[in-house]
Structure 1
Amino acid sequence: MNPQSMLSSLVAFPSVVGTPNGALIDYVRDYLAMHDVASVVIGGPEGDRFNLFATIGPAAVPGYILSGHVDVVPGNEPAWRGDPFRLRTVGDRLVARGAVDMKGFVAAVLSAVPDLVAMRLERPIHIALSYDEEAGCRGVPHLIEKLPTLCAPPLGCIVGEPTGLVPVLRHKGKASLRIVAKGRAGHSSRPDLGENAIHALLPVLGLIAREAERQREAGPTDAHFLPPYSTIQVGTIAGGEALNIIPDAASAEVEARAIAGVDPLALLEPALAAVAGDEALSAEVVARYPGLSLAGDHPLARLAGELSGHAPLAAVSFGTEAGLFQAAGIPSIVCGPGDIARAHKPEEYITVAELMAARDMVLRLGLRLGAGLPAVRSAAAQ
């Protein structure tokens, strides 16, 4: 199957983040089975969402993971000029929800499967597909947990988020909280008879703002990033029904984005401690994933540069699942087709040339592993 046809099949599954994806995973599993590639489906605690892991080549030999998520953001924007879950060709553009983020990379990998099988790889290529990445990388940890039972320790992982096929060495980590305050409603003329939930939020929100300023002024820095320090912000606040009603409920969503080497959840610990000390407040960790940091002279960086034809880029501002693979001891890099600026927008697209270039990159990896060339060893093995 050519990559355009595979992409058309994949985007036809409306695998919106937070919704069931079993039909898409079944489709991929059946496709792989047609080419005598076995796969393992790894469910999450939700019960209706699944990861998939497949190996081409000898699983007992260290190889490389090609990783992508199959969930997409909703396609409800009115500016779509057609069904977002039906691939359209507009000039050289392939338009659909998920075309660039990131079913394009997945389509490139899957379309290359028959050729990879024919190469009789001496070192394996693993395909890792995950769910609910868009909700804070919720699915892939369940896959990573199973990896020791599925294959030899991998030499590296390429996460195919859209980077213009330029290998990316670093990204920030992220943690997010939802803080909820409970009060007691009443008329605003008698605040002594009620409890204002919005007011209950204010001390912890002020603490968050002060910590954000402290990180800017005195926190550790990494010049590879813009800005070069860890950031914290209150992104949303909700509460209240009318000006003359004491609000009985309020909530705020907070995120921290941490430079590599800093635990993003640790940046929110002061807020969590304040919440724990106030019976009117509660907090839920919504998402958490670590940053990525790979040295420019790491063997995986050199390999990705050779495969993609591009010199590695120091850092990007968005986050990926690569940090989670790295935290599990697997050297990781981000390198995929298309431009992240097109993601999460109506008329999302990838070009035919970008899709084909990604497929060619996958085939070059296969040729390297199938031709008996020396494998790139991890830094720990050197």
Structure 2
Amino acid sequence: MLMTVIEILDRLIGFPSVVGTPNDAIVGWIKDYLEGYGARVSVLTGPEGDRANLFATIGPATVPGYVLSGHMDVVPAKEPEWSSDPFTLRLAGDRLYGRGTTDMKGFIAAALAAVPKLAGMRIGRPIHLAFSYDEEAGCQGAPHLIARLPGLCAKPLGAIIGEPSSLRAVRAHKGKTAARVTIRGSAGHSSRPDLGRNAIHAMAEVLNAAVAEAERLTHGPFDPTFEPAYSSLQVGTIAGGQAINIIPDHCALEVEARAIAGVDPAGLLRPVKATVDALHSRGVDAEWTHMSAYPALSLASDASLAGVMAELTGQAPLAAVSYGSEAGLYQAAGIEAIICGPGDIGRAHKPDEFILTSELAACQRMIEALGHRCAA
């Protein structure tokens, strides 16, 4: 019996596939669903051992086709403002509430709902489903999936990354990298600072370097397709110390950089890392730990995939968005990539996340239209 897109989304939301946790349950359900329609499915376990990507093909794998890319993980849903269980789909009017409805299980549900029609088209060019893990931790799973593609299919013509974009294709986003700085000092009574080493005071040099670099970046280089039009850097978290009268023996800071196309994200953090290295050379126990990274996306306006998406959506692709995605990873692997998915990014990562029933239906129609194109 065919499942509707809402029924599929209901099942997907019911899996609490929070980033950084095992995902065998959702992977297993999607695998069984797809195999029920004759898709060739590969479960690709990541190096963590308890998380996997999933790759499936409808049509001939030896012919270049298109990838529909989505991530199965979601951010946590611990906010007290939720009006209902975030892992139980709730319909109110035309809104479907639940963690991941917009970011981005809605796209996955639409793709799965289109599978029965795609499977019945006997398409000449394949459509691949590439579902990753831990995207919300900085695209941790997708690189392992993309590395396996040469053994799974002919080089794809393009990858459509279904991040929420109101079903308007997007050609570019910034690249990102993030790191954690840890400084260890020695504790003691605050009345004798000479007998301890204050980790927070030492971290102040790192914080100052980050703030200075963030300010410098506001002066360019610029790319007007982005908002803001320049690369950026910020400290997102800082924590340390136990009490006001104890010399803090530990301080940790997390810093990220987002780079416009043509700028290396890692290079933006070099002045901050240089400060950490200088502290270490002076005998401070300072550690730099890489957390995550993904490259920028920059698809030319006259690229073949941009033309395909203009036909499928009836709108010219947008130049750029401020958020990031796995699209840059596909482009770095030599595969044209573009963002296009249902929902609004403004609803993501907050209580009472929702997607509209009309948005799901429109996305399903778009994917089925891609199938007709592949069958022509």
Q: Return the TM-score normalized by structure 2.
A: 0.97
Residue 276 of structure 1: how far off its partner (Å): 2.9
| SS of 1:66 mapped into structure 2 | strand
Match in the other structure for 1:242: 243
Listed as ranges, the matches of 1:264-283 within 5 Å are 264-277=265-278, 278=280, 279-283=284-288
Tell whether the 8 Å contact from 1:216 to 1:231 is kept in structure 2 after alignment. yes
Give the Cα separation in 2 of the matches to 1:119 and 1:194.
Answer: 72
Whether 1:226 and 2:227 are equivalent positions in the alignment is: yes
Listed as ranges, the matches of 1:19-98 within 5 Å are 19-98=21-100
Match in the other structure for 1:379: none
Which deviates more, 206-215 or 80-89? 206-215
Match in the other structure for 1:366: 371
Residue 123 of structure 1: how far off its partner (Å): 0.6
Counterpart of 2:50, as a letter, is: D
Please, which of 178, 181, 205 is the counterpart of residue 207 of structure 2?
205
Give the Cα separation in 1 of the matches to 2:85 and 2:215.
Answer: 44
Which deviates more, 77-86 or 179-188? 77-86
Match in the other structure for 1:335: 340
Match in the other structure for 1:16: 18
Residue 287 of structure 1: how far off its partner (Å): 1.3
Tell whether the 8 Å contact from 1:200 to 1:280 is kept in structure 2 after alignment. no
Give the Cα separation in 1 of the matches to 2:217 and 2:86.
Answer: 40
Residue 244 of structure 1: how far off its partner (Å): 1.9
Please, which of 274, 282, 288 is the counterpart of residue 293 of structure 2?
288
Give the Cα separation in 1 of the matches to 2:354 and 2:295.
Answer: 28
Give the Cα separation in 2 of the matches to 1:348 and 1:211.
Answer: 34
Which deviates more, 334-343 or 235-244? 235-244
Unaligned runs of 5+ in 2: none
Match in the other structure for 2:259: 258
Match in the other structure for 1:182: 184
Residue 274 of structure 1: how far off its partner (Å): 2.7
| SS of 2:257 mapped into structure 1 | strand
Please, which of 90, 104, 110 is the counterpart of residue 106 of structure 2?
104
| SS of 1:211 mapped into structure 2 | helix
Residue 338 of structure 1: how far off its partner (Å): 0.7
Tell whether the 8 Å contact from 1:165 to 1:310 is kept in structure 2 after alignment. no
Match in the other structure for 2:316: 311
Give the Cα separation in 2 of the matches to 1:25 and 1:93.
Answer: 26
Counterpart of 1:93, as a letter, is: R
Residue 269 of structure 1: how far off its partner (Å): 1.7
| SS of 2:119 mapped into structure 1 | helix
Give the Cα separation in 1 of the matches to 2:236 and 2:315.
Answer: 35
Unaligned runs of 5+ in 1: 372-382
Please, which of 153, 156, 166 is the counterpart of residue 154 of structure 1?
156
Give the Cα separation in 2 of the matches to 1:236 and 1:346.
Answer: 21
Counterpart of 2:79, as a letter, is: E
Give the Cα separation in 1 of the matches to 2:207 and 2:196.
Answer: 21
Match in the other structure for 1:194: 196
Counterpart of 1:282, as a letter, is: E
Describe the superposition over 1:203-247 as per-residue Cα deviations: whole angstroms up to 9, x where unpaired. 222222222222222x32111111111111111111112222110
Residue 41 of structure 1: how far off its partner (Å): 0.8
| SS of 1:187 mapped into structure 2 | coil
User: How many equivalent residue pairs?
Assistant: 370
Residue 267 of structure 1: how far off its partner (Å): 0.8
Whether 1:143 and 2:145 are equivalent positions in the alignment is: yes
Give the Cα separation in 2 of the matches to 1:294 and 1:36.
Answer: 33
Counterpart of 2:197, as a letter, is: E
Residue 309 of structure 1: how far off its partner (Å): 1.9
Describe the superposition over 1:121-155 as per-residue Cα deviations: whole angstroms up to 9, x where unpaired. 11110100000001111011100010011111111
| SS of 2:74 mapped into structure 1 | coil
Counterpart of 1:255, as a letter, is: E
| SS of 2:102 mapped into structure 1 | coil
Match in the other structure for 1:120: 122
Residue 273 of structure 1: how far off its partner (Å): 2.8
Q: Return the TM-score normalized by structure 1.
A: 0.95
Describe the superposition over 1:59-107 as per-residue Cα deviations: whole angstroms up to 9, x where unpaired. 1111110000010111211121221111111000111111111000000
Give the Cα separation in 2 of the matches to 1:96 and 1:310.
Answer: 29
Tell whether the 8 Å contact from 1:119 to 1:366 is kept in structure 2 after alignment. yes
Structure 1 vs Structure 2 CA RMSD: 1.0
Match in the other structure for 1:168: 170
